[in-house]
Amino acid sequence: MIPAITLGKAGEQVCYRVIKPAYAGTPLSGAGAARQGGRFNRPGQEALYLSTDEATALAEYKQDNPWRHITEN
């Protein structure tokens, strides 16, 4: 099961995010994305990758990181 994150003052939007167990204690932190960068953020820039459905959240989690070759050198 993928846990849901509710955003907004009245909880008007439910979003999903797949994260590694190591980050389960801080589900709203973008620190993991900042370490190596991601599809929509460069290394050093925090980001949350959210979806409005579980399938897209899982697909987002499985995406390759275009910045990986930069941080590995």
Separation CA 33–CA 6 (nearest Å): 20
Residue 21, pLDDT > 90, answer: no
Residue 27's nearest CA partner among 68, 61, 69, 70 is: 61
Q: Which domain holds residue 54?
A: 4-72
Q: Are 71 and 31 in contact (CB under 8 A)?
A: no
pLDDT range class, residue 66, cuts 50, 70, 90? low
Q: How many domains does the chain have?
A: 1
pLDDT of residue 23: 79
Check pLDDT > 90 for residue 44: yes
pTM reported for the whole predicted model: 0.61
7-24 core/surface letters (b: 16 or more CB in 10 A; e: else):
eeeeeeeebbbbbeeeee
Q: What is the pLDDT of residue 67?
A: 52
